[in-house]
Amino acid sequence: MAYQTINPTTNELLKTYANHTDADIEAALDTAHKLYKSQWSKGPIQPRLQVLERLADLIDARKEELARIATVEMGKLISDARDEVWIIAEIARYYARNAEKFLAPSKIDSQLGEAWVENHPIGVLLAVEPWNFPYYQLMRVFAPAIAAGNPVVAKHASIVPHCASVFEELVNEAGAPKGAWKNLFITSTQVANIIADERVQGAAMTGSEGAGSAIAAQAGKYLKKSTLEMGGNDVFVVLDDADLEKAVEIGVFSRLHISGQECICAKRFVLHENIADEFLARFTTAMATVTIGDPLDESTKLGPLSSAEAVKGLSKQVERALQNGATLHLGGKAIAGKGNFFEPTILTDVTRDNPAYFEEFFGPVAQIYVVKSDDEAVELANDSRYGLAGAVFSQNIERAKSLASRIETGAVWINTFASTAPELPFGGVKRSGYGRELSELGIKEFVNQKLVLVAKS
Ligand SMILES: NC(=O)C1=CN([C@@H]2O[C@H](COP(=O)(O)OP(=O)(O)OC[C@H]3O[C@@H](n4cnc5c(N)ncnc54)[C@H](OP(=O)(O)O)[C@@H]3O)[C@@H](O)[C@H]2O)C=CC1
Ligand SMILES: CCCCCC(=O)O
């Protein structure tokens, strides 16, 4: 696969990056493994945390430049790109300031003697990451890994090589030793070979089910720990006592965030029948009037999809949904002209025998469902192969909490949109994957939680 920067707003090829060779991979793994065996990985944590502090400061200093690189390379709004640059600095600082506490030994009361659990690094990790949050997906792996002492080799998506390169540049400038983080422009086959390598002890992947399944299968074959964060088909439940104005505003924002290319965002709108018509009318007006255009323009609210292939795939997916009985309530087509633009789209009457009922639409396409009760809302929410996140809108918090607890996902948000923060665990169940990133849970995914016990004398 070619690593290329193609501006999704203009479809202009800006740069092609050379792939790394097998010899480059061997050198990267040798350097990373030697670093893992060194005092740097196994010794005091502070030198590693100081790298994260310096990295956060470097990111802050280059915020506008980094944001623009992401927008030009994958098309997210410049304001969203700034937000992403901001949060990766926050993630670096979060682990710089909390990892020592998270990884400190924890005592166990045992009749057998004095016992405790220590947390040790396990070795070189592989990160395989997608393009939709081109810096955030990398920092989500790097920060806890370096804090714990695990070196990382990384394969980023082939459409964001500039983001991948500048991230590695920042890590090196922050003083990380060679081997702490190495970006590799490589193929899927080379990814499989890296997973099989005895120096590699784990794999963290975010992306599609297909890629996740291939990586998890290879990791399983070689008995390596893996974490997967894959697709989602999140519900956005609006109950009959919801603040409709707020629900509409947040629903439009969530569905169109990153041009709808976000795993945790509103995709299946589940509306109580008492408010369904009113919500749909307001939602349709808002979706139909968003400003579509150049993501570098501060007034734009919907930019392009990440690639021409993404537009083709989404167009076919919408067409298939309509052929299987869905009603096109708004939009439905790619926007003619330069760039990868797609109309804000609303589908209704998606029945369970329509393939679209079980499909994630990775673009500005909302599916509308109407339910008669809370139980029906929960049943529909859980009638999915995915289990990543979801949102519930009600002014009765106890009612919303009850639904949140019954929805089978890794997260549920009440009266707000799904988002992320360093202290909040991120991940899902079912075909959305397994494992958690961020928070104290994330740093413990790839450590050896070792029991030590001193027998009673
Ligand atoms: N959970 C999340 O945050 C995200 C989920 N997705 C899901 O992925 C779908 C498609 O997005 P897309 O970016 O194409 O996701 P992909 O899964 O195709 O890409 C994610 C990463 O995996 C790599 N990859 C793809 N196939 C393999 C393989 N067989 N072995 C090893 N690595 C592989 C990709 O490399 P390359 O780019 O070179 O193909 C990329 O680095 C979306 O519809 C969405 O469901 C996408 C983005 C984010
Ligand atoms: C808000 C950050 C989300 C990143 C991963 C995703 O859901 O696409």
Q: pLDDT tens, 382-408?
A: 999 999 999 999 999 999 999 999 999
Q: What percent of the chain clears pLDDT 90, i.e. is strictly above it?
A: 100
Ligand 2 geometric centre to CA of 300 (Å): 20
Q: Which atom of ligand 1 is nearest to the CA of 232?
A: 45
Cα separation, 200 vs 228, in Å, equals 17
The tens digit of pLDDT for each residue in 173-229 reads: 999 999 999 999 999 999 999 999 999 999 999 999 999 999 999 999 999 999 999
What pLDDT does 221 receive? 98
Cα separation, 386 vs 358, in Å, equals 9
Please, which residues have CB within 8 angstroms of residue 169's CB and are 6 or more apart in sequence? Answer: none
- Catalytic position from the list 229, 262, 360, 437: 229
pLDDT surpassing 80 at residue 139: yes
Q: What percent of the chain clears pLDDT 70, i.e. is strictly above it?
A: 100
Ligand 1 geometric centre to CA of 13 (Å): 21
Q: Which atom of ligand 1 is nearest to the CA of 187?
A: 38
For ligand 2, is residue 264 a contact (CB within 6 Å)? yes
Q: Which atom of ligand 2 is nearest to the CA of 232?
A: 7
The tens digit of pLDDT for each residue in 59-115 reads: 999 999 999 999 999 999 999 999 999 999 999 999 999 999 999 999 999 999 999
For ligand 2, is residue 80 a contact (CB within 6 Å)? no
What pLDDT does 118 receive? 98
The domain defined by 3-230+430-455 folds into Aldehyde Dehydrogenase; Chain A, domain 1 (3.40.605)
Ligand 1 geometric centre to CA of 133 (Å): 12
For ligand 2, is residue 230 a contact (CB within 6 Å)? no
The tens digit of pLDDT for each residue in 101-126 reads: 999 999 999 999 999 999 999 999 99
Give CA separation, 55 vs 146, 160, 195, in Å: 12, 20, 28
Q: Whose CA is nearest to atom 7 of ligand 2?
A: 263
Q: Whose CA is nearest to atom 1 of ligand 2?
A: 419
Structure-token pair, residue 344? 């804000």
- Ligand 1 pocket list (CB less than 6 A): 1, 128-132, 155-158, 188, 191, 206-208, 211, 214-215, 229-231, 263, 360, 362
What pLDDT does 359 receive? 98
Contact 360, 233 (CB under 8 A): yes
The CATH superfamily label for domain 235-414 reads Aldehyde Dehydrogenase; Chain A, domain 2 (3.40.309.10)
Q: Which atom of ligand 2 is nearest to the CA of 132?
A: 8
Ligand 2 geometric centre to CA of 137 (Å): 8
| Residue among 416, 420, 437, 438 whose CB has most ligand 2 atoms within 8 A, to mutate | 420
Cα separation, 177 vs 432, in Å, equals 34
Contact 65, 167 (CB under 8 A): no
Q: Whose CA is nearest to atom 6 of ligand 2?
A: 263
Ligand 2 geometric centre to CA of 264 (Å): 6
| Residue among 208, 228, 362, 434 whose CB has most ligand 1 atoms within 8 A, to mutate | 208
198 assigned to active site? no
Report the Cα 52 to chain-centroid distance in Å: 21
Whose atoms come closest to the Cα of 232: which ligand? Answer: 1
**357: pLDDT confidence band, cut at 50, 70 and 90?**
very high
List the helix and strand counts (H, then E) for the chain: 15, 20
For ligand 2, is residue 420 a contact (CB within 6 Å)? yes
Ligand 2 geometric centre to CA of 63 (Å): 19
For ligand 2, is residue 263 a contact (CB within 6 Å)? yes
Q: Which atom of ligand 2 is nearest to the CA of 261?
A: 8
Cα separation, 7 vs 126, in Å, equals 28
Tell me the domain boundaries of the chain.
Answer: 3-230+430-455, 235-414
Q: Whose CA is nearest to atom 3 of ligand 1?
A: 263
Mean pLDDT for the chain overall: 98
The tens digit of pLDDT for each residue in 237-286 reads: 999 999 999 999 999 999 999 999 999 999 999 999 999 999 999 999 99
Ligand 2 geometric centre to CA of 1 (Å): 24
Structure-token pair, residue 240? 């009959």
CA torsion 220→157→184→446, rounded to 10°? -40
**1: pLDDT confidence band, cut at 50, 70 and 90?**
confident
For ligand 2, is residue 326 a contact (CB within 6 Å)? no
Which position has the token pair 């915020």? 63
pLDDT surpassing 90 at residue 164: yes
Region for residue 353 given its phi and psi (left: phi exceeds 0; alpha: psi -120 to 50; beta: otherwise): alpha
- Across the range 434-455, mean pLDDT stands at 98
Whose atoms come closest to the Cα of 216: which ligand? Answer: 1
ipTM over 0.85 threshold: yes
